[in-house]
Amino acid sequence: MEKPLNSAIITDFKITTRMCVVCRGRFPQKDLYRFQEKDRKLVSYTKTGRSFYICTQCIKQERKRLVKILNGKFKIKQINIEELAKQ
């Protein structure tokens, strides 16, 4: 028995998902901000080295928790997340 055309289109389509390092939720990659740590500072991803993703909800609401997690995992001293999120 053949699949109907509409269901074949939906099941063959794949959305890339990534995990936010703060809330550990999974989101489509296009909805997340991508950062990396360079010289103990948080910078936008420069396409070299390791990076991590942060969702928009965590950037807007959970400032205290965001700073605590980034300091614990990445030893980042300077965090200016609002400026980086605007880029």
User: pLDDT tens for residues 39-67?
Assistant: 878 888 899 988 999 998 888 876 778 87
How far, in Å, CA of 20 to CA of 34, rounded?
Answer: 10
SS3 of residue 36 by DSSP:
strand
How far, in Å, CA of 7 to CA of 21, rounded?
Answer: 33
Full-model pTM: 0.71
Residue 33 clears pLDDT 60, i.e. is over it = yes
Q: How many CB atoms lie within 10 A of CB 48?
A: 8
Distance from CA of residue 79 to its chain's centroid? 16
- Which H or E element spans position 76? none
Please, are residues 46 and 34 in contact by the beta-carbon 8 Å criterion? no
